[in-house]
Amino acid sequence: MDARPNGGPDPYRTAVRGLAEELGLEISHDQVKFLSFGANAVLCEYALCGVVYVEQTEEEILKIRSLGVPKDKWESQKLHFVPFKPEAVAEFMVGNKPWSPFAVVCAVHALFDRFGKERLEKAFAGREIVLSQRLPK
């Protein structure tokens, strides 16, 4: 479904389809901005981290979900709406644990892309994010 004409993967198609299936939102490829690619060699996990800016409000997204538009809404029992600001995200991540290491990386990269290093470091200074897994030393 997400392949390019040559058979290779198209991450933009995957992101567009994912937002449609999970949240019922229609976006275009140019709304997707990929920021990094990583691998967890212990668990053989790979992640392509990015960000998508949408115009829908919390209320609009919840209404779309209530109408049954997203076919895979069952995969997320609850959505958490957090202001896209380093301080709010840091507070949310500390208060809700544990986190997948890739989730932390993706959140931090998206915040860094928008707000830069100084504000991000200040927001996360002295805070401990609990991870769901640890890599061997």
Q: How far apart are CA 55 and CA 39, in angstroms?
A: 31
The more confidently predicted of residues 65 and 108 is 108
Hey, what are 74's tokens? Answer: 């069952």
| Residue 75 pLDDT grade (very low, low, confident, very high; cuts 50, 70, 90) | low
Q: Are 114 and 133 in the same domain?
A: yes
Q: Are 28 and 90 in the same domain?
A: no
pTM above 0.75, yes or no: yes
Residues 90-103 have a mean pLDDT of: 92
Q: Are 88 and 62 in the same domain?
A: no
Q: Are 9 and 65 in the same domain?
A: yes
Dihedral sign (CA 24, 29, 31, 34): positive
Domain boundaries, position 122: 82-137
Identity of residue 34: F
Task: Identify the residue whose tokens are 């229609």.
Answer: 26
Hey, what are 23's tokens? Answer: 């949240």
The total of structural domains in the chain comes to 2
Hey, what are 34's tokens? Answer: 């990929």
